[in-house]
Chain A
């Protein structure tokens, strides 16, 4: 069984981003970029399924600028067999990415695609679901456990208030939640090996997909700041403030 894993290059999760003064967006020049943490979990899960022998090939895909190659190399250092970059400098929104992935899925014919549940830059949480809809496949979002059984994927999902388990008819789309696994550290020998793996590049035009954005970002602002708080010396002072100043207890 072939598994396709889309990965996104995003601002590293430890970076505190700054809004540009002209409100046109967030300043991402010269900040550290990494693979979206949920996508790392997706690559790790696909690799584990391959190590268990239920999956034969893992293909990592990324859509975006030329530097996304680095993200694909990271995926290949974790365990992906080859990579595909859909290269474009255009702004890509989830619907456009889902359309690009749909064409690749039709070409590669995977039985399973594992995506992160959301990217930590746009926080959209849409691409996996949109892709499932466009392909007419089943979906399981926020997965904390994936088992491949005969012709189905049994997935445990994190939902509000607990967990639920569903069976998906294959081919299927699964999106990862944080507790699905702990991604491995990439080792130097694996980074070296990843450099030799196959990486193909295509463009949205070659795939015949119109990626024009549907949502127009009018402006990006700093969130409303909180006024500076105070430190209280002891518990009695804290309770006094809560009762008499904030009046919340």
Chain B
């Protein structure tokens, strides 16, 4: 049994999510190869070869693969697919974009966002915004899977795999990359942060959101937000934690002024310790919080900063 893991990267750096996907591959068991599809991505491939459990990294380089366009990356994966029993992607924006395209072309079902591996063909995944966990068995010859990264601990960088260049597939010529706007941040990446401080509608304004900065600085935390806060324009879209945003499972999740709607809880209820600060003692967030503080956040947050 051989497993192909599709690396998540930006041609410069290997993203942390790949470490978790390799961990899931290790649980399935078998020879693990990593595909780095990109342009000038040699450094990414070298990094991927260090992941524990990876025996070989396949490096496909072409200008058509530079921007991760789904049509082109899918062609690259399909060119290699016949040699593998499992093809694994991270359940990130890019993984979710490409994986179903590969699955449909192989005429197999795709298994989305697995959070546990029961056996080589049986997996657990959340449905209904995390309100139920389904155990599913695939009857297909090739298993195309996206991996919820928070379900698997990242592998160490202690391996010594080899890097092998493979021919790049021809571009599909169906789409063209135009531009990218990356939100600048000095803070840890939300999906991989050990501590997350999130604000909700209770913050009141984008201006008020800034009172979370010193708290996040003190805790070395990434900043997150509820959908209500994002929709109200208090925080950028990519901060959104929830069913339709990012799924996080940090050591500590601090929810400030967040009521705790089902869709938000779906994105954070696997956090180790949850702290909620809300002035409404009846807010559903207190149902999942390990430590709840009923207080006005505008007093509690600055006080937290000075006390910590």
Contacts and interface: CB of A to CB of B under 8 A. Distances in A.
Interface of A: 11, 13-14, 16-17, 19, 26, 93-95, 98, 117-118, 120-134, 137-142, 144, 154, 157-169, 177-179, 213-223, 226, 229-232, 234-236, 238-239, 241-242, 246, 248-249
Interface string B86-128: 0000001110111111111101111111000000001000111
A215 B109 contact: yes
24 contacts: A13-B262, A26-B127, A95-B104, A120-B128, A120-B129, A126-B103, A129-B97, A132-B70, A133-B103, A139-B71, A144-B237, A157-B93, A160-B94, A164-B177, A218-B135, A223-B126, A229-B290, A231-B294, A232-B291, A232-B292, A235-B293, A238-B291, A239-B307, A246-B291
A229 B286 contact: yes
Interface of B: 67, 69-71, 74, 92-94, 96-105, 107-113, 122, 126-140, 172-183, 189, 191, 195, 219, 227, 230-231, 237-238, 243-244, 246, 251-252, 262-263, 269, 272-275, 281, 286, 288-295, 300, 303-304, 307-308
Contact of B128 (A26, A128, A131): A26
Main secondary structure, interface of B, reads mixed
Given A159-B94, A161-B238, A235-B295, A221 B176 contact: no
B203 to A, nearest CB: 18
A117 B236 CA distance: 19
Given A167-B175, A167-B178, A169-B175, A235 B303 contact: yes
Given A126-B103, A239-B304, A160 B176 contact: no
B183 A214 contact: no
Contact of B308 (A26, A144, A239): A239
Contacts of B238: 158-162
Contact of A219 (B135, B177, B179, B191): B135
B252 A229 contact: no
B110 A230 contact: no
B175 A94 contact: no
Nearest to A102: B104
Q: Sort A-B residue pairs by CB-CB distance and give the 10 closest, nearest first.
A: A129-B100, A130-B104, A138-B174, A214-B109, A126-B100, A133-B104, A165-B178, A229-B290, A133-B101, A162-B182
Contacts of B274: 226, 229
Nearest to B302: A235
Nearest to A243: B308
A121 B103 contact: no
Contact of A123 (B97, B129, B289): B129
A248 B251 contact: yes
**Interface hub of B101, B105, B107, B308 (most chain A Cβ within 10 A):** B101
A95 to B, nearest CB: 5
B93 A160 contact: yes
Nearest to A233: B293
Nearest to A167: B176
A130 B96 CA distance: 11
Given A127-B100, A167-B176, 17 more contacts: A94-B109, A95-B107, A120-B128, A123-B113, A129-B98, A158-B93, A166-B178, A214-B140, A216-B139, A217-B135, A218-B137, A223-B126, A229-B288, A230-B292, A231-B292, A249-B195, A249-B219
Given A217-B134, A232-B292, A95 B174 contact: no
A98 to B, nearest CB: 6
A236 B307 contact: yes
A95 B109 contact: yes
Given A123-B113, A161-B238, A221-B132, A229 B291 contact: yes
B4 to A, nearest CB: 18
A120 to B, nearest CB: 6
B273 A248 contact: yes
B133 A223 contact: yes
A214 B108 contact: yes
Contacts of B174: 137-138, 168-169
